[in-house]
A and B are shown apart, each in its own frame.
Chain A
């Protein structure tokens, strides 16, 4: 079993929809949670960073962490075609925070 599980998709939604992307993990030591966006043939781009449980909002993006369920989510409101990309979750533990563990990514397609 992988430490971090992420549905590969593809997930196809119409423009304007609310998108929910999720990851589950098994390592209870993870305290740092990140979401990256990766366009085709480009490097991952850091979208959101959260520490421990709770919600964090940045514009149309909301990151949610539920440590009791070992489950994290990224919500995208008013999705746009430019949001079409692969979304990667990443996690780190104290003491090994530099060694991030990534999910395999969910491919999102926002259609007109």
Chain B
């Protein structure tokens, strides 16, 4: 158990809808990262927050947004969902800003129908 928690475990929704994924980092970690994992693309970095502020962005679509709250939990919002958004979404956390050692949560499996 990495200490990172994610909810929900599974999510099934229809195209055009909006969903929110939630992540709680390990105790004491200030950085939270979001990744998307699909069969054809592998693990893709989406975005990083550090102590409430956005610090790094990857190939995150404009339809996706994230935030980190004062208690350090983070939410990833996915809107106008498309079939291609079906994937595993992982949250990871690290102690500092430079996330060499990132600890991953169990993931949320999103299925868009």
Other-chain residue from B42, B55, B90 in contact with A98 (beta carbon distance below 8 A)? B55
Please tell me which stretch of B13-21, B64-72, B77-85, B96-104 contacts chain A, meaning at least 4 of its Cβ atoms lie within 8 angstroms of it: B96-104
Give the docked Cα–Cα distance between A12 and B45 (Å).
29
- How many residue pairs at the A-B interface have CB separations less than 8 Å? 63
Give chain A residues whose Cβ lies under 8 Å from the Cβ of B42: 88, 102-105
Cβ-defined contact, A99 with B103, below 8 A: no
Cβ-defined contact, B104 with A97, below 8 A: no
Give chain B residues whose Cβ lies under 8 Å from the Cβ of A102: 42-45
Cβ-defined contact, B2 with A43, below 8 A: yes
Please tell me which stretch of A20-28, A44-52, A59-67, A77-85 contacts chain B, meaning at least 4 of its Cβ atoms lie within 8 angstroms of it: A44-52
Cβ-defined contact, B104 with A99, below 8 A: no
Cβ-defined contact, A45 with B104, below 8 A: yes
Cβ-defined contact, A42 with B45, below 8 A: no
Q: Does B74 contact A (CB under 8 A)?
A: no
Contact with A along B97-113 (1 / 0, CB 8 A): 11111111111010000
Give the docked Cα–Cα distance between A45 and B33 (Å).
15
Among B26-61, those with CB < 8 Å from A are 31, 33, 42-45, 48, 50, 55-56, 58
Q: Does B76 contact A (CB under 8 A)?
A: no
Give chain B residues whose Cβ lies under 8 Å from the Cβ of A44: 43, 90, 104
Q: Does A34 contact B (CB under 8 A)?
A: yes
Cβ-defined contact, A98 with B106, below 8 A: no
Give the docked Cα–Cα distance between A103 and B102 (Å).
15
Other-chain residue from B45, B97, B104 in contact with A43 (beta carbon distance below 8 A)? B104
A49-B58 contact in complex given A42-B107, A43-B105, A100-B45, C-beta closer than 8 Å: no
Give the docked Cα–Cα distance between A30 and B2 (Å).
25
Give chain A residues whose Cβ lies under 8 Å from the Cβ of B104: 36, 43-46
Give the docked Cα–Cα distance between A92 and B102 (Å).
12
Cβ-defined contact, B103 with A97, below 8 A: no
4 additional contacts (CB under 8 A) given A32-B100, A44-B43: A43-B104, A99-B48, A100-B45, A103-B42
